[in-house]
Amino acid sequence: MSKQKQKEAVYSAIQSVLTESGQSISDNSPVAESLSSNARQQVANILVEGFNSGSIELNTKFGDDSKLRTYVSGLISNWLRKDTRLNGGVKYTPAQSNGSRRGSTDPQIKALRQLMASGALTSAEDIEEVQKAINTRMAEIAPEKKPQVDFNALPESLRHKYANA
């Protein structure tokens, strides 16, 4: 017997719970909006049972049921966001990073940040000088930003003119 993939297990569990309550999955509206906390709990119970019985793929072993339930909660949220059958047909795009790790692999930035954290800089002028050096280096290594244009959202007359630009 082959094991069910997690994505399919989440989809079928949600479909089962919604069908039981007289609802259905619609192509144009996100399921998360109509999934009550009680229904979500029912979905989680189905998935936990499937993991425990071995009918759903699971590469990680969880020591206890509470850790598995935490995993299942995140799994449900993940597929409600990513599965186009559940999110209203929207292609998933991850949230943009706030850039807190930008420059972390650059040796010069790393050294400058270590200098800032060392406590060796005592005056405001010294701190400002090192921060300016960090900002300058960050600008040097920053990737070129090109705006993402949704050509399908442009008017028909402009779409054909600029879509291949």
Among the listed residues 66, 86, 68, 60, the one whose alpha carbon sits nearest the alpha carbon of residue 8: 86
According to the model, what pLDDT value does residue 99 have? 62
Q: Enter the tokens of residue 34.
A: 């109509």
Look at residue 146 and tell me whether its pLDDT is greater than 80: no
- What does the mean pLDDT of the chain come to? 87
In angstroms, the Cα distances linking 151 to 81, 91, 93, 146, 158 are 24, 15, 17, 14, 9
Look at residue 165 and tell me whether its pLDDT is greater than 70: no
- Mean pLDDT is highest, among 5-19, 28-42, 52-66, for 5-19
How many other β-carbons are positioned within 10 Å of the β-carbon of residue 88? Answer: 14
Tell me the per-residue pLDDT of 46-71, one tens digit each, with 9 for 90 and over.
999 999 999 999 998 887 888 999 99
Claim: this prediction has a pTM higher than 0.75 = no
Note the helical H segments in 21-82.
37-53, 65-82
